[in-house]
Structure 1
Amino acid sequence: MGIYFKKGEIRMLADLLGSVNRIKINRNDGVFTIFEAVVNSIQSDSKNILVELKTEKDKQSSFEITDKKEKDVLTEVIITDDGYGFNDENFESFKKINSTHKLKLGGKGVGRLTWLKVFENIEIESTYKQDKKYFFRKIFFNLYDEVKEVELKELPFGDQKQIKTTIKFKKPKGDFLEKFPITAEDLGEKILYHCLSYLIEGVFEITIKDNKNEYRCKDEYRSRLENDIKKDTIKINKEEFDIIYIPIDKKKLSKHEISFTANKREVYRRGMSGELLKSSFEIDKKEKYILAFIRGNYLDNSVSEDRTRFFFPDEDGGLFLSEKEIINSVSNKIITIFDKSIEIIREKNKNKINIFLNENPYYRAVYKYNETIVDEINSRTTNDEIEEKFEKTVRQKLKEIKTNIKTLELNGNYQEKFEETIEKIDVLKQLDLAKYIVHRKIIIELFDKILEKKENDKNYYYEKDLHNLIFPMKKYGEEVDYNNHNLWLIDDRLSYHTFLSSDKPFNEFNENSTNKERADLVILNNLISFSDKEVEELHSNVIIVEFKRPGRDSLIEYDLNTQIYKYIEELLDSKIKTKNGKRIEIDKNAIFNVYIICELSSELVKTLRRANYKELLEGQGYYFYNDSYNTLIQVFSLNKVLRDVKLRNKIFFKQLGVL
């Protein structure tokens, strides 16, 4: 029969309820209580640690009518180990809140308080050896009785049992149940990575069992992780850290992560920085992500009592390291260590950018100037996001140019700074020019589509679309930005004008007219300076553009002989007032250039020849010069407009690679 020692209620030496209430644990982190107990077992020199998950069917769900399978809920977690056990020294420490018993191991003396944050009752049974004798101790631990030693006895010689300690975590609290792992694999994975530093160096096994399966952490580590591990040290400012890099199959890990540890235990994880580290690595022909465990005295000394967070400064660059500084340093180190995998990612990024540049070639000059954009994208980056990267570079260059100009001084480094500024300006000029060339390519393709639709749909009234493509209808030149019209489709010189009327009645802009007729386009250019109190400018060159629809052959002769000359008469010796109030006079000897753009039907060609029109040398059009009106009239087809504009721009498209 054993020898019994004093037993009964033993009060903790501090306010237990208040201490537990002060501990903040996220409802997703209830499993930290099990981590605490497992680490205690490891630190007790245990060689075999068993974690058992007890579950039962949810009684609540049995009253619900549902086709779903009954849900398992956690009822109890039992941890058994063969370590030192609850000997007198360990038991005395257990009773003290903020005990310094494990200070050298990083113990805060509050880990067991988290047990009562997540579970209602804890039962402990421990068979241990002390002073060459064997003892058995049983303890109840809860918020109401605090620590209650219900049994303590010495085991008689020959009646020694196997040394072991069993801790039963009973009645998990509802707030933590939903996210608490209830299968051996789920809990095993979490324990594996939380205690990885111990597993790498230790010779113990942690086995997790549920009602059906078991999971062995050491076996999993050896079979899946051990051969791929890389170790390194890194110095950030003056602090030194050890890092363990573990490639993990992307099915098990969804992104590259840094595990922040304190005293060999994982506290939390953070994603890595940089776009290159948003893609998985190709290692041994498998897609994997890197889990980097970082540890060091700085982290050991910065962890909170409940081991759920670190006390980092909010800002970088101070006396103490911030979390962001650590993340950036570790991320950069990984890029160096896994350089082969990074190079594969860079090649994929280059291909992605080249595809983007084929569609947006005007950014080629920017890319040549700043190829680091390759490191700023990932496999999921969209074309819009890539474009924003290029535009950000452009904005940065503009800012640098302005700064350089402001700070440019005629001193020793003047020439160097001047050349640097000119180089940046040159890149931006190339970008703007390339963008404009691509814009022209798109407009020409749109013009082509209008003609294609015209051929396939005889009822298509294309004049309106064509007119708006070249210049918006019912607008004056002052109202339309240079980039929002395409007069260059007809003639590049038309873009440089001082007055333009698009589908506007003559009496609206001609002070001498009562005519409400509208020419499609009236354009004034070729300025001649003229000093007059009432008239600010005198024009000697007037352009009229008319878009004519096919099927109106009977009207063409009338248009040529009557309508066009009527328009000219309206404009000759007239005074025009622009929308902005500027007054312009047209010289009575002005030269008129008339463009009639239409479909050259056989009947129209006959009409033109009868009227003594000459065929253009390149074909697809006719011209006639009227001495009396000082007017050159050109009638040509839509296809000629398209052909000519393609030829004029071909060399630019070829140079840009968008031909």
Structure 2
Amino acid sequence: MKINLGNAVKFFFPNPSLEMVYYEAIANAIDAEATEIDVHIKIEAFGKPETFSVEITDNGRGFRDRNFEKFSNLLEIEEKDHKGVGRLVYINYFKKVEITSVFENKKRTFELTGTFDGENEVVDAIGQPDATKLIFKQYSKEKIRSYDYVKPAAIKKSILTHFYPLFYSYKVDNKDLKITVSLTTKEPNTQYDFYTDKKEIIVSQIPDLELTTFDAEGLDLFEKFNLYYSVQKNENMESSTITALCVDGRTLPVEVLSKGGIPKGHDIIFLLYSNLFTGKVNASRQELNMDESEIRSIKKIFGEKIAEILNEKIPAIQEANSKTTSSLVERYPHLNGFFEENSVGLIDRNQSLELAQKKFFNAQKEVLEASDITDEVYQKSLELSSRVLTEYVLYRNVIIEKLKKVDKNNSEADIHNLIVPQRSKLSKDTFHNDLFTNNAWLLDDKYMSYTTILSEKDMGEVLDTLTLDSEDKEKNIKRPDIAIIFSNDPTEGKKVDVVIVELKKLGLGLAKKEEVTSQLRQRARKLLQHYPDKIQRIWFYGIVDFDDEFKVSLLEDKYIELFSCGTVFYKEQPIIMDLETKTEIPVGLYVLSFDAFLKDAEVRNSTFLNLLKEELKANR
């Protein structure tokens, strides 16, 4: 029965890698007892895949009649670690493979294509040594996906990784094997290390491996894992890693180390053997045919053993990980306890943070979805509450750091938007989001309950009202730069409290500074008139540049200097709305420096943060 090989390759190799062409040819050469294998790649330029060809020669026993018969019949195998379909990957990438093989003073030639039916020619080749040559022609893809598929250095590493168990057995048995990988190109690209080059693999020179044996805990009561490994320093400060499961004489790479997972200047090899893996790899040798839970357990056990050995062999890993974890805990204290403690190799900072955030979210979800509030759930909810609060205090720290970077090039509006977003309304219905937009805590934490910022239209009317000089209005002088927060919507029935923040530019003379306090009173009066019978109290903050003369002036006006990390003066001033009613509304007038505004908030916040950090440490 003939089989259409073009369709068969899609069935057995739905997503094969170009490297598999090299693997299959080398595996066949080794089966033929070759001691020398040469892989020669030719391509004019990486961007010209139509010029790509590969020539692979070996000095093995060649395609004898029985070997050719097996090659011609799909799925015919004699050993359990052979699949009988590997050659299909050839025609997945090349339309034609010309094969010439000398064996027992005869020479066999044939072409492998998608319609190959076993046709071949055999002639005499008296006195010629046994050898086989495969010439891969007419590359069938639109492009080559990676430079690593044509660079000798990268191919050497992938061949070593794939065949390491076999190579090591050759080394132990003192068998000779040399593989040469070369590239010839007319248009090199040094940016990608792509140029005419040659690399060699000599199996007698590969590193000796150490062995440790341990139980297949949780997987099989009787089977053992044999871990062969090597951890060596090199002189070129590059690092190479091979971490793989050994299945049916070849390897199945397993990613247990992140990129950059070991310090530079080390070559590491970890090969895990077990009878559990025998025969449990798919036809393409790319995946284990095992239950997902079993695969996860194997990777976990494999990773733990690698971590244990690396920490012993490379002490710098533990030192670096300790520093990274300490840095993460310092920067993200609310995630303390969620950061990985037993990393395989060097901790990837971004990955560790991402995993910790995921664990934190899952812990929150578990508490929120709990049907019963048991003692355990209650204690967990208390811990998570501390973490959430820490996260919020950290957010405050970010706002403070942004304010520290404010300079003369920033507008007053930039500062206002850090305190509260201009012209947006906050409400109890959006409490969580508002918590991260209303930063009135910069002035005093009690203002966190003040939730309303006027709409653009209403704010426009208020700012027009608070512009003190009618002549300025006629000249279209810009409105005052003021941030206003109400304890409730002043357009509704309830009486409200108001917080107003006004910034004055630096460098004003004494007369202009003294106008500030007068303007604060006038603006308060105008606001009271704009919202008659709606405002019960006003807190006014004027942020201004200070000097000694201005301080004296404030003291003469009976302002009181308050304790601060900067300069703050306060006075409670009753404001009379009109002569007819003479109703007085108390207004707290604060005149403070930008340093006081910023540093006082920072001190309050750091007190909370330090307290929460210690609490989280104590609960670990």
TM-score by length of 2: 0.66
**What is the CA deviation profile of residues 428-486 of structure 1, one whole-angstrom value per residue up to 9, with x for unaligned ones?**
22222223333333444444554xx4xxx6xx786554444434445556599243233
The reply to whether residue 353 of structure 1 matches residue 325 of structure 2 is yes
- 1:399 paired residue number: 365
Question: What is the SS of the residue equivalent to 2:253?
Answer: strand
- 1:67 paired residue number: none
- 2:592 paired residue number: 637
For 1:50 and 1:494, locate their aligned partners in 2 and report how far apart those are by CA, in whole Å: 82
Q: CA deviation at 1:397?
A: 0.7
One of 87, 103, 106 as aligned partner of 1:125: 103
- 2:254 paired residue number: 271
Contact residue 470 and residue 486 of structure 1 kept, 8 A: yes
For 1:314 and 1:653, locate their aligned partners in 2 and report how far apart those are by CA, in whole Å: 48
Question: In structure 2, do the counterparts of structure 1 residues 245 and 603 end up closer, same or farther at CA, with 3 Å as the change threshold?
Answer: same
- 2:230 paired residue number: 247
Question: In structure 2, do the counterparts of structure 1 residues 239 and 325 end up closer, same or farther at CA, with 3 Å as the change threshold?
Answer: farther
Contact residue 485 and residue 500 of structure 2 kept, 8 A: yes
Question: In structure 2, do the counterparts of structure 1 residues 79 and 234 end up closer, same or farther at CA, with 3 Å as the change threshold?
Answer: farther
The reply to whether residue 493 of structure 1 matches residue 446 of structure 2 is yes
**What is the CA deviation profile of residues 235-263 of structure 1, one whole-angstrom value per residue up to 9, with x for unaligned ones?**
7458957645232668897333315432x
Q: CA deviation at 1:391?
A: 1.8
Contact residue 525 and residue 542 of structure 1 kept, 8 A: yes
Amino acid at match of 1:374: E
Contact residue 191 and residue 217 of structure 1 kept, 8 A: no
Question: In structure 2, do the counterparts of structure 1 residues 228 and 574 end up closer, same or farther at CA, with 3 Å as the change threshold?
Answer: closer
Q: CA deviation at 1:106?
A: 4.9
Question: In structure 2, do the counterparts of structure 1 residues 197 and 94 end up closer, same or farther at CA, with 3 Å as the change threshold?
Answer: farther
For 2:252 and 2:447, locate their aligned partners in 1 and report how far apart those are by CA, in whole Å: 64
For 1:113 and 1:615, locate their aligned partners in 2 and report how far apart those are by CA, in whole Å: 90
The reply to whether residue 433 of structure 1 matches residue 394 of structure 2 is no
Greater Cα offset, 251-260 or 429-438: 251-260
Q: CA deviation at 1:392?
A: 0.8
The count of residues paired between Structure 1 and Structure 2 equals: 541
- 1:31 paired residue number: 22
- 1:613 paired residue number: 558
Question: What is the SS of the residue equivalent to 1:395?
Answer: helix
Greater Cα offset, 590-599 or 485-494: 590-599
Instruction: Report percent identity of matched pairs.
Output: 16
One of 191, 206, 209 as aligned partner of 2:177: 206
Q: CA deviation at 1:419?
A: 2.5
Amino acid at match of 1:255: T
Q: CA deviation at 1:502?
A: 9.6
One of 381, 391, 396 as aligned partner of 2:348: 381
For 2:151 and 2:492, locate their aligned partners in 1 and report how far apart those are by CA, in whole Å: 88
- 1:134 paired residue number: none
For 1:388 and 1:574, locate their aligned partners in 2 and report how far apart those are by CA, in whole Å: 49
For 2:596 and 2:254, locate their aligned partners in 1 and report how far apart those are by CA, in whole Å: 60
Q: CA deviation at 1:560?
A: 4.6
Question: What is the SS of the residue equivalent to 2:525?
Answer: helix
Amino acid at match of 1:300: G
Contact residue 102 and residue 109 of structure 1 kept, 8 A: yes
- 1:413 paired residue number: none
The reply to whether residue 309 of structure 1 matches residue 266 of structure 2 is no
Question: In structure 2, do the counterparts of structure 1 residues 51 and 190 end up closer, same or farther at CA, with 3 Å as the change threshold?
Answer: farther
Contact residue 123 and residue 141 of structure 1 kept, 8 A: yes
Amino acid at match of 1:400: E
Question: In structure 2, do the counterparts of structure 1 residues 502 and 487 end up closer, same or farther at CA, with 3 Å as the change threshold?
Answer: farther
- 1:367 paired residue number: 336
**What is the CA deviation profile of residues 29-62 of structure 1, one whole-angstrom value per residue up to 9, with x for unaligned ones?**
33345434444344xxxxxx54264979x8x97x
Contact residue 558 and residue 571 of structure 2 kept, 8 A: yes
One of 242, 253, 256 as aligned partner of 2:242: 256
Q: CA deviation at 1:216?
A: 7.9
For 1:313 and 1:547, locate their aligned partners in 2 and report how far apart those are by CA, in whole Å: 69
Amino acid at match of 1:598: V
The structure number with the bigger radius of gyration is: 1
Amino acid at match of 1:123: S
Contact residue 31 and residue 181 of structure 1 kept, 8 A: no
Question: What is the SS of the residue equivalent to 2:240?
Answer: coil
Q: CA deviation at 1:352?
A: 1.0
Contact residue 38 and residue 180 of structure 2 kept, 8 A: yes
| Structure 2 unaligned spans of 5+ | 46-50, 112-116, 183-196, 469-478, 577-583, 615-620
Question: In structure 2, do the counterparts of structure 1 residues 649 and 234 end up closer, same or farther at CA, with 3 Å as the change threshold?
Answer: closer
Q: CA deviation at 1:279?
A: 1.8
The reply to whether residue 103 of structure 1 matches residue 66 of structure 2 is no
Where does 1:545-624 land on structure 2 (aligned, <5 Å)? 545-549=501-505, 551=508, 553-554=510-511, 560=517, 564-565=521-522, 567-568=524-525, 571=528, 574-575=531-532, 585-586=534-535, 590=536, 593-601=539-547, 604-605=550-551, 607-608=553-554, 612-616=557-561, 618=563, 620-621=568-569, 623=571
- 2:471 paired residue number: none
For 1:149 and 1:75, locate their aligned partners in 2 and report how far apart those are by CA, in whole Å: 21
Q: Compare the two structures and name the one with the higher strand fraction.
A: 1
Contact residue 75 and residue 170 of structure 1 kept, 8 A: yes
Amino acid at match of 1:567: A
Question: In structure 2, do the counterparts of structure 1 residues 341 and 655 end up closer, same or farther at CA, with 3 Å as the change threshold?
Answer: farther
Contact residue 596 and residue 633 of structure 1 kept, 8 A: no
Question: In structure 2, do the counterparts of structure 1 residues 560 and 142 end up closer, same or farther at CA, with 3 Å as the change threshold?
Answer: closer
Question: In structure 2, do the counterparts of structure 1 residues 190 and 326 end up closer, same or farther at CA, with 3 Å as the change threshold?
Answer: closer
One of 37, 40, 48 as aligned partner of 2:31: 40
**What is the CA deviation profile of residues 510-557 of structure 1, one whole-angstrom value per residue up to 9, with x for unaligned ones?**
9xx988767835565599xxxxxx974245x66555444452644566
Contact residue 75 and residue 85 of structure 2 kept, 8 A: no
- 2:608 paired residue number: 652
The reply to whether residue 169 of structure 1 matches residue 133 of structure 2 is yes
Question: In structure 2, do the counterparts of structure 1 residues 18 and 239 end up closer, same or farther at CA, with 3 Å as the change threshold?
Answer: farther
Amino acid at match of 2:98: E
Q: CA deviation at 1:72?
A: 12
- 1:157 paired residue number: none
For 1:644 and 1:210, locate their aligned partners in 2 and report how far apart those are by CA, in whole Å: 68
Question: In structure 2, do the counterparts of structure 1 residues 288 and 526 end up closer, same or farther at CA, with 3 Å as the change threshold?
Answer: same
Question: What is the SS of the residue equivalent to 2:436?
Answer: helix
Question: What is the SS of the residue equivalent to 1:481?
Answer: helix
Contact residue 51 and residue 78 of structure 1 kept, 8 A: yes
Amino acid at match of 1:392: K
When the two chains are superposed, the root-mean-square deviation of aligned CA atoms in Å is 5.5
Where does 1:441-520 land on structure 2 (aligned, <5 Å)? 441-450=397-406, 453=407, 463-474=412-423, 478=427, 481-497=434-450, 508=461, 520=482
Contact residue 29 and residue 58 of structure 2 kept, 8 A: no
For 2:277 and 2:424, locate their aligned partners in 1 and report how far apart those are by CA, in whole Å: 70
Amino acid at match of 1:568: R
Contact residue 256 and residue 278 of structure 1 kept, 8 A: no
Question: In structure 2, do the counterparts of structure 1 residues 21 and 449 end up closer, same or farther at CA, with 3 Å as the change threshold?
Answer: closer
Question: What is the SS of the residue equivalent to 1:484?
Answer: coil
